[in-house]
Amino acid sequence: MSVPKGNQTFLRKYNRRLLVNLLETEGPLSRSELARRTGLSPSVLTRRVQSLLREGVVREAGKAASSGGRRPTLLSFNPDYAGAIGVKIERTRLLAARVDLGGRITARDAAQLDDPPDVSATVAGIRAAVDRLATGRVLGVGVCVSGHVDAKRRIDLYSPILGWRDIPLAELLERAIDLPIHVENDVNALSLAEHAYGAGRRFAHFVCLTVGEGIGAGIVLNGTLYRGAFGAAGEIGHTTFDPSGPACRCGEPGCLEVYASDRFLEAEATRLGYRGIPDLMRAAREADGEAHEVFVRMGRTLGLGAKNVVNLLNPEAIVLGGERMDASDLFLPAFQETVRRHAFPQAATHLEIIPSELGPDGFLIGGARLATRSAFSVPSAGGQP
Ligand SMILES: [Zn+2]
């Protein structure tokens, strides 16, 4: 039976990505191991491997241990084959980096933005950063931004931190930059990076919780980022903590973010007569009991928010990240204690609570990862990587 031409092209692309994916996640592997895992015939496998070696996506990586006969040659994914550019839009800064295919940052760029940032100035800033960073083969640009991003329609629907609403960011960037463009919520991008290269590597189910100006969560279930039906999953910062509490910047009363983000710490610093959060942290570490109690309260509140997530999703781990991890020594003990005491034992007993491994770079690495995944993911009917 002959296969129609369109299907042949699809099959070729599918097989190629299947091999690259397998080598990236589980390599190095021998040709016979690849054949066993993919079910590809020897002739198809040989052709695909030859073309991947020729392109440089895959390289030979020594010999496997002998199992009696001739020692087979191992093949591995080549992280130097290309790079991708990750960008993070913050309230006053634009950060960008070129990242190799192994998740390592090879060059950086930063620029100031007005507060709040103007959309067209931000697009121009990203274009300038990409121009400076795009050396060699670049697979694409992944931009991460706070708030509610519809990654399918590639629109920043609503970002309370940036004051943006319905910004067709991907479209604006595509007009300015001649590379594939991806837009994603920043915490989702961080979760992808931690899953591929950091603290989430060991887990198929984990929640990446970020603390700082906002409180966000990225949810990985069954090894896949869960975005929700319309890209709005993970807004833990805007779950209700006290319905009679003060208004959150999202407009709702008493969100978790009101009681555990920087806004809370700043207000408490003022109340106790300190100049700001760094000052409050210093006092808490220098045995000012009242200042220390502020972080304990923050940890407990955050712990109750996390407890709800743990009871709802039963993850293997909570990976904690975000800029306020610089105060983790002050709030983490109360956080851990609260989660463990209040979540169902079935969900909490084996739960790991660990810090992000990639730190602030994780956002940029995750942005780049969007572009890499899109270039190498196995094509599916859904289209989204
Ligand atoms: Zn809110």
Q: Please tell me the least confidently modeled range out of 159-163, 172-176, 246-250, 294-298.
A: 159-163
338-346: average pLDDT? 90
Using a pLDDT cut of 70, give the percent of the chain over it: 96
H or E stretch at 95: strand 93-100
State in Å: Cα 255 to ligand 1 middle: 5
Ligand 1: centre distance to CA 243 (Å): 11
324 C-alpha to ligand 1 centroid (Å): 18
What is the rounded distance in angstroms from the CA atom of residue 187 to the CA atom of residue 165? Answer: 18
Say how many Å lie between the CA of residue 236 and the centre of ligand 1.
9
**Mean pLDDT, to the nearest integer, of 256-270?**
96
Q: What does the block give as tokens for 321?
A: 């990240």
- Cα of 238 to ligand 1 centre, how many Å? 4
Report helix, strand or coil for 226. strand
Does the pLDDT at position 384 exceed 50? no
Q: Which residues surround ligand 1, an ion (CB under 5 A)?
A: 238, 248, 250, 252, 255
Q: Does domain 199-356 have CATH number 3.20.20.105?
A: no
C-beta of residue 23 within 8 angstroms of C-beta of residue 4:
no
Domain boundaries, the chain: 5-77, 83-191, 199-356
Torsion of CA 128, 133, 134, 139, to 10 degrees: -110
Helix (H) or strand (E) run with residue 216 in it: strand 215-221
User: Could you read off the pLDDT of 168-208 as tens digits, one per residue?
Assistant: 999 999 999 999 999 999 999 999 999 999 999 999 999 99
Residue 381, pLDDT > 50, answer: no
Check pLDDT > 60 for residue 256.
yes
DSSP state of 247: B
User: What whole-number distance in Å separates Cα of residue 182 and Cα of residue 143?
Assistant: 6
pLDDT digits (tens, 9 = 90+) for 31-90: 989 999 999 998 889 999 999 999 999 999 888 777 677 788 999 999 999 999 999 999
Q: What is the mean pLDDT of the chain?
A: 91
Q: How far is the CA of 117 from the centre of ligand 1 (A)?
A: 21
CA of 148 from ligand 1 middle (Å) equals 12
Domains 83-191 and 199-356 share a fold: yes
5-77 topology per CATH: Arc Repressor Mutant, subunit A (1.10.10)
Residues 267-320 have pLDDT tens digits of 999 999 999 999 999 999 998 999 999 999 999 999 999 999 999 999 999 999
Measured CA to CA, the distance from residue 199 to residue 214 in angstroms comes to 21
* Residue 96 backbone phi and psi in degrees, to 5: -145, 155
Superfamily of domain 83-191: ATPase, nucleotide binding domain (3.30.420.40)
How many A from CA of 274 to the centre of ligand 1?
26
Output the CA 282–ligand 1 centroid distance in Å. 28
Q: How many CB atoms lie within 10 A of CB 2?
A: 6
Residue 164 CB-density burial (10 A; 0-12 exposed, 13-18 middle, 19+ buried) = buried
CA dihedral 202, 371, 314, 324 (to 10 degrees): 90
